Amino acid sequence: MQQLKVINTLKKNLNFTDRSIEKLKIFCKMVLKENKIHNLISKNTESAIWDRHILDSAQLVKFINFKSNSLADLGSGAGFPGLVLEIFNKNKDFHVKLYEKSPVKRQFLSKVIDQLDLNARVFGSVKDEILDTDIIVCRAFKKLDKVIQVSREIAKKPHKLIILKGQNAQVELKKSLKRKKYPYKLENSMTDKFSKIILMEINS
C-alpha cells in the first residue's frame, strides 16, 4: 500500500487529522534519514514504511481509550507504535511513555518528540521501572508469555495489554495461558491477513 492510499485510510477509517498526517510525514522522513546511520527499522521495509510501520501502528487507535491517563510502549524502537499513537492523540492530559533500552534509539525518540512537540517521555529498560499506566502496547517486543510476565511485574494496577502479533498469535496464546487465564480478544490486522492484535485484560 503506497503513501497516499495509507493516508486516505488513516483519515477515513481511523480519523487522523490533517495536522496529524503532516506530523507523520515529518516522522517518516526522520526515521528514513536516521536509518541511513543507525538500524532503526529493517532496510527492506523502508519502501513500505507507510504500510508496514505507520498503518500497522495506527490501527491500534481503534482499541485505545484516549480519555485514560497514559499509555506505555514497551520496546518502542523507532517509535512504533507509541509515537504514532501520540501523534493521533487529541487529549492534552493523555501522555505516552516510551521504554527503549538502546541509547541510540532513545536519543532518536527524544529528537522526534522535541521536533513534533509531542506529549511523550522516553525511559530506559522497562525492568528498571514501575509502571503506573492504564494501557500497555508492544510490537516486536518479546514472546507473549514474557510480555505478560513483564507487564504483571512492573505495572502497579490492572491494565489493558495491546499486542501486535504475527500468524503465531493463537499458538502463543495457548502456551501463555496454560497456568493462568486472562480475558482476551483477537482482532484482525489491517495490514496483514495472517497477523492479529491481542487485546488482554491483566487484572491481577
Task: Give the pLDDT confidence of 61-101 residue by residue, as tens digits.
Answer: 999 999 988 899 999 999 999 999 999 999 999 999 999 99
Rounded Cα distance between 31 and 96, Å, is 19
Mean pLDDT over 120-142 rounds to 84
Structure letter (DSSP) for residue 144: H
Domains in the chain, CATH or no CATH each: 62-202 (3.40.50.150)
Q: Which residue has the cell 493462568?
A: 180
Interhelix angle 169-176/144-154, rounded to 10 degrees, is: 50
Helix, strand, coil: what percent of the chain each, to 5?
45, 20, 35
Q: For the CA atoms of 113, 21, 92, 109, what is the dihedral angle to 10 degrees?
A: -20
Task: Compute the average pLDDT of residues 109-121.
Answer: 97
Reported as a single tens digit per residue, the pLDDT across 134-161 is 899 999 777 888 888 888 878 878 899 9
